[in-house]
């Protein structure tokens, strides 16, 4: 399967996209009311156009392909992870470090109780747990960005002296 996908994967992805595009275009042209789409006020009547169901095929195909791609990534990732256990050890350790870092940051995060952010939290119905999770995710992203930039600088300096 891997050899087949490496040889024919791009062609298959292109053909799948082309076929999906053709299906959407055929659906739009056969189900559309020519007078509705060609009218000078078509942009103003966008909700009326959307209510005709013209765009549903495109949205459904896109959703299906997205779910299919995500499932393939998860399935092939797990198969590769389990089949190459020793070579996957770095990934497993890195993932464990990220999970532990997130848990530590979430545990140490404080729930905001004053300021403009409280109004925004009330507006979007964000509770204390979600607030701490958002704070931990932001802090973790900043920490990983700092580590990434720092490692780029350090490794470039090391490469200069090689």
Q: How long is the chain? A: 162
Identify the residue with better confidence: 29 or 32: 29
Residues 98 and 118 in one domain: yes
DSSP-derived secondary structure letter, 113: -
Residues 72 and 97 in one domain: no
Domain residue limits at 155 = 85-162
Among residues 49, 64, 83, the one where a domain terminates is 83
Residue pLDDT, tens place only, 2-16: 677 778 888 888 898
| CA dihedral sign, ordered 11, 14, 17, 19 | negative
Q: What is the DSSP string of 54-110?
A: TTHHHHHHHHHHHHHHHHHHHHHHHHHHHHTTTTTHHHHHHHHHHHHHHHHHHHH--
Burial class (CB in 10 A: 0-12, 13-18, 19+), 111: middle
As a whole number of angstroms, the distance between CA 36 and CA 47 comes to: 12
Residue pLDDT, tens place only, 66-121: 899 899 889 988 888 888 888 889 888 999 999 999 999 999 998 877 888 888 88
Q: Identify the band that residue 154 occupies on the pLDDT scale cut at 50, 70 and 90.
A: very high
Among residues 20, 54, 83, the one where a domain terminates is 83
Residues 102 and 60 in one domain: no
| Closest-CA residue to 62 (of 14, 24, 30) | 24
Residues 89 and 77 in one domain: no
Q: Identify the band that residue 31 occupies on the pLDDT scale cut at 50, 70 and 90.
A: low
Count: domains in the chain: 2
């Amino acid at each position: 399967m891997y050899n087949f996908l490496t040889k024919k994967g791009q062609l298959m992805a292109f053909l799948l996209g082309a076929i999906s595009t053709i299906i959407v275009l055929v659906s739009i042209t056969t189900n559309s009311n020519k007078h509705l789409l060609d009218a000078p006020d078509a942009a103003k009547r966008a909700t009326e156009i959307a209510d005709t169901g013209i765009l549903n095929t495109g949205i459904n195909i896109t959703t299906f392909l997205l779910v299919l791609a995500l499932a393939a990534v998860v399935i092939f990732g797990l198969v590769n992870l389990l089949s190459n256990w020793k070579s996957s050890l770095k990934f497993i350790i890195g993932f464990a470090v990220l999970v532990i870092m997130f848990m530590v940051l979430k545990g140490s995060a404080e729930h905001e109780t004053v300021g403009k952010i409280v109004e925004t939290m009330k507006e979007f119905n964000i509770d204390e747990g979600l607030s701490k999770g958002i704070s931990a995710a932001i802090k973790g992203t900043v920490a990983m960005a700092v580590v990434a930039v720092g490692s780029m600088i350090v490794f470039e300096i090391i490469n200069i002296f090689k």
